[in-house]
């Protein structure tokens, strides 16, 4: 998913006051945190690191949904996670990594749900329609799509991060291609090229998603889904369109 929405604009000052990497994991993070709170100790080596990281990422998704990816601060995430900003940065190093990890975790959770939902569709066409519904956002403030747009506007420089995001894209395309292949083999989608169709359709859905995220009153979620279904029907079921 290359272009995923125009991210909500935040103030540069709010983002700039967050430290990039803490010198001390127990330092409390941003200098803008109020109050002479005692310095928390660094997480113990035996602490459930995986659970703590997941708690931070869940808190980040909530904060992003409320404030937008540009405006969200490490302190916002820390408050929701019940940690200090210093502890949050101890786990992730910097704010940008939190955003990437939050998006990847969100997509991983969605991929599990997507596979289960598509598997329950006995008819290949129903599976394609379900795929469209799962792909597109339902409202302009969708946090996951806000993060995708952030990644598009400011692509991560880390090769590993880029590879992980590319793998997410590939997963969506592979799931759609599998349903189209099933339909072709059953004679429902004659002549379809599953991989090519999946790539082109996902890029088409990206454009429709942008319309939803931009909040055009006549181009909402239902409009986007109807448009997408009409486009794919024309290609997969041409006999029904003639």
41: alpha, beta or left? (left if phi > 0; alpha if psi -120 to 50): beta
Write the pLDDT tens digit of every residue in 19-64. 333 444 444 444 334 444 444 444 454 446 788 888 999 999 999 9
Q: Is residue 114 located within the same domain as residue 193?
A: yes
Angle at 166 between CA 163 and CA 172, to 5 degrees: 145
Number of domains in the chain: 2
Which residues of the chain fall short of a pLDDT of 50?
A: 1-43, 45-47, 242
Q: What is the pLDDT of residue 111?
A: 94
Q: Is residue 157 located within the same domain as residue 218?
A: yes
Q: Which two tokens stand for residue 160?
A: 């590993």
Residue 191 belongs to domain spanning: 103-241
Q: Residue 2 domain-assigned?
A: no
Q: Is residue 145 located within the same domain as residue 212?
A: yes
3-state DSSP percent of the chain in helix, strand and coil, to 5: 65, 0, 35
Q: What is the pLDDT of residue 124?
A: 96
Last residue of a domain, one of 95, 121, 149: 95
Q: Is residue 90 located within the same domain as residue 108?
A: no
Q: What is the pLDDT of residue 241?
A: 54
Q: Residue 4 domain-assigned?
A: no
* Residues 88, 192: Cα–Cα separation, whole Å: 48
Q: What is the pLDDT of residue 242?
A: 45
Last residue of a domain, one of 95, 126, 147: 95
4 three-class SS? coil
8-state DSSP, 31: T
Q: Is residue 88 located within the same domain as residue 112?
A: no
Last residue of a domain, one of 50, 67, 95: 95
82 half-sphere exposure, CB direction, 13 A CA radius: 5
Whose CA is closest to 198, among 182, 174, 227, 216?
174
Q: Which two tokens stand for residue 77?
A: 């995430």
Q: What is the pLDDT of residue 21?
A: 39
């Amino acid at each position: 998913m290359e272009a995923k929405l125009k991210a909500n604009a935040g103030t540069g000052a709010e983002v700039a006051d967050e430290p990039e990497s803490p010198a001390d994991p127990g330092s409390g993070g941003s200098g803008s945190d109020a109050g002479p709170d005692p310095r928390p100790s660094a997480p113990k080596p035996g602490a459930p690191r995986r659970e703590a990281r997941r708690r931070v990422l869940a808190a980040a998704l909530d904060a992003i949904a409320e404030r937008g990816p540009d405006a969200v601060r490490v302190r916002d995430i820390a408050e929701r996670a019940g940690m200090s900003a210093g502890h949050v940065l101890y786990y992730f190093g910097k704010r940008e990594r939190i955003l990437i990890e939050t998006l990847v975790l969100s997509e991983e959770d969605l991929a599990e749900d997507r596979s289960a939902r598509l598997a329950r569709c006995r008819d290949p066409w129903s599976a394609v329609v379900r795929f469209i519904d799962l792909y597109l956002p339902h409202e302009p403030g969708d946090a996951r799509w806000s993060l995708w747009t952030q990644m598009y506007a400011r692509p991560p420089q880390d090769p590993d991060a880029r590879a992980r995001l590319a793998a997410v894209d590939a997963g969506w395309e592979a799931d759609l291609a599998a349903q189209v292949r099933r339909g072709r083999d059953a004679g429902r989608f004659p002549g379809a090229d599953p991989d090519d169709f999946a790539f082109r359709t996902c890029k088409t859905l990206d454009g429709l998603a942008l319309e939803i995220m931009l909040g055009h009153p006549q181009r909402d979620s239902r409009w986007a889904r109807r448009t997408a279904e009409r486009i794919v029907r024309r290609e997969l079921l041409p006999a029904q369109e003639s």
